[in-house]
């Protein structure tokens, strides 16, 4: 039997049930269009079931699919680009591509992805206590690792925000939403890109992206990482002051000119809340430099954030949870094992995310910590949280 997708009947009129006939190694997918995980500019993320395994599906808004407006074709192009980018990327900190299928009723693609537990936005807003330091470091490092992988593959994300960072049960962070991404030149130095409008979420954007004709490089993403680090540490959504102020200038036709306000000044109310001992402050300051050439690369951020895992503060944060007996340990494979995803429409490999929980008693945790745990900085800990629906998930 060939890889021909056919529509199946289901008892729920809101479900789309497709026979995949072995496409991607799967037989059936049921897309639960009424179970919305999140909604974005051009589509909804909904729950789906792939051979009885839960996953997420991203589908275009019906108004975009049905519209004859040529201007809306840009949304379809972005969606198709997101499918393309995710298909070609394989990294433990990037939401895993499971496949692309075609909706028989619209002939438009449906993107299938792994199902994640929470968005970073909701996690930060809903946590009843401060986020443990080692969890802050783990999430920050995960984001940098994902962006460094994108840049190595010539891709600028351009819309990094807490809504586009998803977390699993062990707080492993994964980057998603590549609808605004740009595939740069093949030159690994990342040539500068010129666009006609600011591409991403304004409060995460650097000064060069706020200009009438923005021109930027891969440093647009490292600036956004700096804003994310500030948000992770303070648990406050970014709220910078105005980007510029006016100053009298008799030589100007209007008698005044706009003067940019330095980013450190715009965000100082949050920056002063970053503990000096945390090690985050110098990293954040460098990421928020006004001139892009002065900012670190994503690869350099990986190194600097990774070094925080060898500090006494990081070790103390992890050991505190161990001795309290309220920590879950997860297999090291959870923080690094991603199977190969072959080219679109040419694979028969069944791709599934895998989480292995190892639940230990308090005494076992203490023994584990004393004998072997602290030297494994790649394995994260998590505080059990209640899984709640997040309207920003995947969008």
H or E segment and range at residue 92:
none
Of the listed ranges 75-79, 177-181, 278-282, 386-390, the one predicted with least confidence: 386-390
Q: Tell me, what's the pLDDT at 296? A: 98
The answer for residues whose C-beta is within 8 angstroms of residue 192's C-beta and 6 or more apart is 215, 216, 217
Over residues 160-174, mean pLDDT: 95
Over residues 310-339, mean pLDDT: 64
Q: Is there a contact between 381 and 318 (Cβ–Cβ < 8 Å)?
A: yes
Q: Give the torsion sign (CA, 73, 77, 79, 83).
A: positive
108/168: higher pLDDT: 168
Over residues 303-328, mean pLDDT: 83
Q: How confident is the model at residue 272 (pLDDT cuts 50, 70, 90)?
A: very high
Give dist(CA 288, CA 48) in Å, integer.
39
Give dist(CA 116, CA 164) in Å, integer.
12
Q: Tell me, what's the pLDDT at 273? A: 95
Of the listed ranges 85-89, 127-131, 186-190, 320-324, the one predicted with least confidence: 186-190
Radius of gyration of the chain (CA): 22
Q: Tell me, what's the pLDDT at 252? A: 67
Tell me whether residue 58 is annotated as binding.
yes
Over residues 137-142, mean pLDDT: 98
Give dist(CA 48, CA 12) in Å, integer.
13
Q: Tell me, what's the pLDDT at 325? A: 53
- Residue-wise pLDDT for 22-53, tens only, equals 787 888 899 998 999 988 767 889 999 999 89
* Percent of the chain predicted with pLDDT > 70: 68
Name the average pLDDT for the chain: 76
Give dist(CA 305, CA 169) in Å, integer.
22
Q: Tell me, what's the pLDDT at 347? A: 35
Over residues 132-148, mean pLDDT: 97
368/71: higher pLDDT: 71
Domains of the chain (ranges, CATH numbers): 6-113 (3.30.200.20), 118-311 (1.10.510.10), 316-382 (no CATH)
H or E segment and range at residue 127:
none
Asked if residue 361 has pLDDT above 80, the reply is: no
pTM of the model: 0.75
């Amino acid at each position: 039997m060939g890889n021909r997708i056919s529509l199946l009947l289901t008892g729920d009129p809101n479900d789309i049930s497709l026979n995949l006939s072995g496409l991607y190694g799967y037989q059936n997918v049921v897309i639960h269009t009424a179970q919305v995980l999140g909604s974005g500019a051009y589509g909804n993320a909904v729950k789906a079931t792939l051979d009885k395994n839960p996953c997420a599906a991203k589908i275009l808004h019906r108004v975009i699919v049905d519209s004859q407006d040529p201007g809306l074709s840009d949304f379809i192009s972005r969606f198709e680009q997101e499918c393309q980018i995710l298909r070609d990327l394989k990294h433990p900190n990037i939401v895993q591509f499971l496949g692309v299928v075609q909706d028989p009723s619209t002939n438009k693609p449906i993107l299938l992805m792994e199902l994640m537990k929470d968005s970073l936005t909701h996690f930060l807003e809903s946590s009843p206590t401060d986020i443990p330091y080692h969890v802050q470091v783990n999430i920050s490092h995960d984001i940098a690792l994902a962006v460094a992988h994108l840049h190595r593959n010539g891709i600028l994300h351009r819309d990094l925000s807490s809504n586009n960072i998803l977390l699993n049960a062990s707080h492993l962070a994964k980057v998603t939403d590549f609808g605004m991404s740009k595939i740069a030149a093949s030159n690994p130095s990342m040539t500068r890109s010129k666009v006609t409008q600011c591409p991403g979420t304004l409060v995460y954007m650097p000064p060069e992206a706020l200009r009438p004709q923005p021109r930027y490089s891969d440093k647009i993403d490292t600036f956004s990482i700096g804003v994310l680090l500030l948000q992770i540490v303070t648990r406050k959504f970014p709220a910078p002051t105005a980007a510029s102020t006016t100053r009298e200038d008799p030589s100007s036709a209007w008698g005044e000119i706009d003067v940019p306000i330095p980013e450190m000044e715009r965000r100082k109310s949050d920056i002063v809340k970053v503990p000096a001992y945390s090690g985050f402050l110098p990293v954040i300051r460098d990421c928020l430099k006004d001139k892009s050439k002065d900012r670190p690369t994503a690869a350099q951020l990986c190194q600097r954030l990774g070094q925080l895992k060898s500090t006494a503060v990081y070790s103390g944060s992890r050991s505190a949870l161990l001795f309290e007996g309220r920590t879950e340990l997860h297999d090291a494979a959870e923080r690094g094992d991603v199977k190969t995803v072959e080219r679109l429409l040419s694979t028969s490999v069944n791709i599934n995310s895998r989480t292995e929980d190892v639940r230990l008693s308090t005494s076992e945790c203490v023994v584990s910590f004393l004998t072997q745990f602290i030297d494994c900085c790649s394995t994260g800990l998590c505080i059990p949280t209640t899984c709640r629906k997040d309207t920003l998930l995947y969008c």
